[in-house]
């Protein structure tokens, strides 16, 4: 495990929803007809209407989403997860992710974890936590744990930095530092 | 243990003697490509200046910008975006390709598909440069890394090898090969990996067909697709290449995460049923379903073999009254060639609406469908709302099926017309 992951954002909360559909197209969260809405508060109110009309009322800051295999397949747009973050969702744990979706959300600094077996490991509203140091997802409601797949280094660093631009700024600063102090090894 | 073509290309790009799948590296792209689109290029240009203090790119010849979306413009705001792009390219001395056609095809025509090169873009359909032994990856927003620094941070991907044997029967096209791959291997079979095409039938496949298959790789979950360059592909790519590089190929003992064999002779025409590129079926299951529109074009299809297939079906026949058939060649070079071959007149005389190259038909910016309408399409994608209303439907299929369906006004089998 890269040491960078020790400073990862906290992923500890309830399982606010389980998307058990494989190849889940995240645009469905807000509905394709709403995908061009830019007001995030409006999007948040529209989110999850077809899955659970009370979702916005029941979700709490820090809650997490759980997904099935190839979560984010299709042609994912950014508004659905912007809406989810506005509602307090702190991350996604899925059996596996579709690469395009994964990249897009990691570039927003949104923590996500690929965890084969997660669907059978949680029930809705269980209290769960990603233990970055131990490399496991813990289910506090059931007293169980399951390993997740280590993140590629750059993805972990990008999430840790809070997204693409802060990550790139950090890198640029590091490179300048390395040039300035050629005798000091990189971090 | 040998190396895959992907490992070889990335090793060179990372300046390392060798790399292996799974390794986290920083690799310098030989070429950085993008088309102008709101929220992408305009943001890169602004971020470079304002957040990173980059007034000019250091090596302009490494970049290539395309204007292929919003062509022609419909609003002043779109034209302003293009002006911003033209200005940036002129200031930076970066090559700009405006109205040459759909960028991923034009990129091959103008030499960014240099065999052995490592190319990045934000759009994943750039994978089609893999036809020429180029490793071309779509990074979405993360391509910004290549605009503000020399390198991109990536993990060297594993490779799934697909060996093609046999040959396609009449009425079956490269589109069907790709959709069959999704059906056989699954829509997540190549997740975060490279789809490498090989086997005895690759050499006999058309370059255009390989561009179609590699260009759609993302729907198997692949980061990109690649073909070990053979003489036919090298004959096309080397004279156009923008950089002198030694073409590379996978070693015979390269390590693959999986190897699959596909016999092309077994394949049938396929339709991909909305609203997901994962839902592939035999064409015969959907024959007779009424349609309102047909679209033949896109970066995936719309090349000469597609236009020829459509012309063969449509020659001496008429598009059914009430059906709109839009045919959009993928590039100006291809459109001119189609005109010289007489394909354009055949298509127009049959009632097709033939337009100059543009990406705009593929995502519903023009020829927009309303609720309840249904299209057959060679576009890239069939998700809800892709070509207009979220309550319209897109059935993806090959060019001959689009043409036959336009004649009958319902999903039709092209084989009786061939």
Q: Residues B19-68: pLDDT tens digits?
A: 999 999 999 999 999 999 999 999 999 999 999 999 999 999 999 999 99
Residues of B contacting chain A (CB within 8 angstroms): 24, 47, 51-52, 124, 138-142, 144-145, 148-149, 153-155, 187-188, 191-192, 218, 221-223, 275-278, 381, 383-386, 389-390
Contacts of B224 in chain A (CB under 8 A): none
Domain termination residue (choose one: B247, B263, B279): B263
> Which residues fall within 8 angstroms of residue B39, CB to CB, at 6 or more apart?
none
Question: CA B312 to CA B173: how far, in whole Å?
Answer: 14
Backbone angles phi, psi at B324, to 5 degrees: -100, 120
| B1 occurs within a structural domain | no
- Show me where the domains of chain A are located: 3-180
**B306 and B181 both lie in a single domain:** no
Cβ atoms B33, B63 nearer than 8 A? yes
Nearest Cα neighbor of B90 from B70, B113, B67, B122 is B67
Considering only CB atoms, B142 lies closest to which of A27, A164, A169, namely A164
Question: CA B140 to CA B40: how far, in whole Å?
Answer: 9
* Min Cα–Cα distance to chain A from B25, Å: 9
**B52 and B187 both lie in a single domain:** yes
User: Quick one: average pLDDT of B260-278?
Assistant: 97
**B183 and B51 both lie in a single domain:** yes
**B316 and B281 both lie in a single domain:** yes
User: Quick one: average pLDDT of A99-107?
Assistant: 96
Domain termination residue (choose one: B246, B263, B280): B263
Residue A183 has pLDDT above 80, yes or no: no
Token pair, residue B136, equals 């071309």
| B3 occurs within a structural domain | no
| B2 occurs within a structural domain | no
User: Quick one: average pLDDT of B2-6?
Assistant: 98
Cβ atoms A22, A70 nearer than 8 A? yes
Return the bridge partners of B66, or none.
Answer: B35, B97
Percent of chain B beyond pLDDT 70? 100
- 3-state DSSP call for residue A136? strand
Considering only CB atoms, B192 lies closest to which of A31, A32, A99, namely A99
Q: What is the CATH number of domain A3-180?
A: 3.20.19.10
| B407 occurs within a structural domain | yes
| CB-based contact B221 A99, cutoff 8 Å | yes
Question: By residue range, what is the domain housing residue B386?
Answer: 271-417
Nearest Cα neighbor of B369 from B331, B314, B326 is B326
User: Quick one: average pLDDT of A126-142?
Assistant: 97
Q: Does A116 contact chain B (CB < 8 Å)? A: no
**B258 and B373 both lie in a single domain:** no
Nearest Cα neighbor of B301 from B370, B231, B208 is B208
Considering only CB atoms, A103 lies closest to which of B139, B148, B187, namely B139
Q: Considering only residues 117 to 176 of chain A, which have any Cβ-Cβ distance to chain B shorter than 8 Å?
A: 152-154, 157-158, 164-165, 168-169, 171-172, 175
Considering only CB atoms, B187 lies closest to which of A23, A154, A169, namely A23
As for how many domains chain B has, the answer is: 2
**Residue A176: pLDDT band by 50, 70, 90 thresholds?**
confident
**B217 and B315 both lie in a single domain:** no
**B251 and B280 both lie in a single domain:** no
Q: The domain spanning residue B319 has which CATH number?
A: 3.30.499.10
| CB-based contact A99 B47, cutoff 8 Å | no
Position A40 scores a pLDDT of 96
Domain termination residue (choose one: B236, B263, B290): B263
**B210 and B75 both lie in a single domain:** yes
What interface predicted TM-score (ipTM) does this complex get? 0.93
Question: CA B179 to CA B52: how far, in whole Å?
Answer: 42
**B216 and B306 both lie in a single domain:** no
Position A5 scores a pLDDT of 53
Q: Model-level pTM?
A: 0.96
Considering only CB atoms, B149 lies closest to which of A31, A99, A172, namely A172
Residue B150 has pLDDT above 50, yes or no: yes
Question: CA B247 to CA B115: how far, in whole Å?
Answer: 5
């Amino acid at each position: 495990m890269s040491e960078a992951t020790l400073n990862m954002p906290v992923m500890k909360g309830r399982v606010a929803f389980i998307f058990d559909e494989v190849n889940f197209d995240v645009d469905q969260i807000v509905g394709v007809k709403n995908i061009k809405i830019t007001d995030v508060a409006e999007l948040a109110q529209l989110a999850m209407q077809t899955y659970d009309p009370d979702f916005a009322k029941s979700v709490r800051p820090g809650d997490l989403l759980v997904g099935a295999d190839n979560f984010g397949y299709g042609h994912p747009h950014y508004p659905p997860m912007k809406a989810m973050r506005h509602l307090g969702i702190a991350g996604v744990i899925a059996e596996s992710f579709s690469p395009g979706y994964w990249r897009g959300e990691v570039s927003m600094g949104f923590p996500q974890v690929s965890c084969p077996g997660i669907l059978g490991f949680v029930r809705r509203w269980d209290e769960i936590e990603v233990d970055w140091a131990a490399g496991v997802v813990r289910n506090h409601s059931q007293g169980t744990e399951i390993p997740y797949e280590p993140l590629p280094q750059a993805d972990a660093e990008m999430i840790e930095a809070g997204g693409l631009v802060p990550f790139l700024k950090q890198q640029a600063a590091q490179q300048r530092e390395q040039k300035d102090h050629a005798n000091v090894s990189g971090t | 243990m040998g190396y895959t073509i992907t490992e070889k290309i990335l090793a060179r790009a990372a300046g390392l003697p060798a790399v292996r799948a799974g390794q986290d590296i920083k690799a310098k792209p030989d070429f950085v490509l993008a088309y102008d689109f709101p929220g992408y290029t305009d943001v890169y240009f602004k971020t470079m200046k304002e957040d990173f203090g980059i007034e000019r790119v250091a090596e302009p010849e490494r970049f290539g910008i395309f204007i292929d979306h919003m062509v022609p413009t419909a609003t002043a705001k779109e034209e302003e975006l293009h002006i911003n792009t033209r200005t940036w390219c002129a200031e930076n001395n970066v090559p700009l390709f405006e109205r040459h056609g759909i960028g991923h095809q034009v990129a091959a025509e103008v030499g960014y598909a240099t065999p052995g090169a490592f190319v990045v873009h934000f759009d994943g359909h750039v994978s089609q440069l893999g036809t020429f032994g180029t490793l071309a990856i779509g990074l979405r927003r993360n391509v910004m890394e290549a605009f503000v620094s020399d390198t991109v941070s990536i993990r060297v991907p594993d490779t799934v090898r697909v060996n093609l044997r046999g040959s396609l029967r009449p009425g079956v096209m490269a589109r069907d090969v790709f959709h069959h791959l999704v059906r056989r291997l699954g829509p997540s079979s190549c997740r975060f990996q490279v789809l490498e095409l090989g086997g005895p039938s690759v050499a006999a496949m058309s370059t255009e067909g390989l561009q179609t298959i590699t260009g759609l790789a993302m729907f198997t979950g692949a980061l990109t697709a690649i073909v070990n360059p053979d003489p036919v592909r090298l004959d096309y790519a080397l004279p156009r290449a923008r950089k002198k590089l030694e073409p590379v190929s996978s070693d015979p003992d390269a390590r693959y995460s999986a190897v699959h064999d596909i016999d092309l002779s077994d394949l049938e025409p396929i339709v991909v049923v909305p609203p997901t590129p994962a839902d592939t079926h035999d064409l015969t299951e959907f024959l007779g379903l009424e349609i309102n529109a047909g679209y033949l074009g896109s970066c995936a299809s719309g090349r000469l073999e597609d236009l020829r297939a459509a012309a063969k079906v449509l020659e001496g026949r008429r598009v059914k009254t009430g059906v709109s058939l839009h045919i959009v060649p993928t590039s100006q070079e291809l459109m001119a060639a189609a005109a010289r071959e007489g394909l354009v007149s055949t298509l127009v005389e049959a009632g097709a609406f033939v337009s100059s190259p543009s990406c705009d038909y593929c995502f519903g910016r023009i020829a927009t469908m309303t609720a309840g309408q249904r299209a057959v399409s060679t576009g890239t994608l069939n998700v809800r709302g892709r070509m207009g209303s979220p309550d319209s439907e897109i059935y993806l299929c090959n060019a001959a099926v689009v043409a036959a369906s336009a004649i009958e006004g319902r999903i039709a089998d092209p084989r009786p017309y061939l």
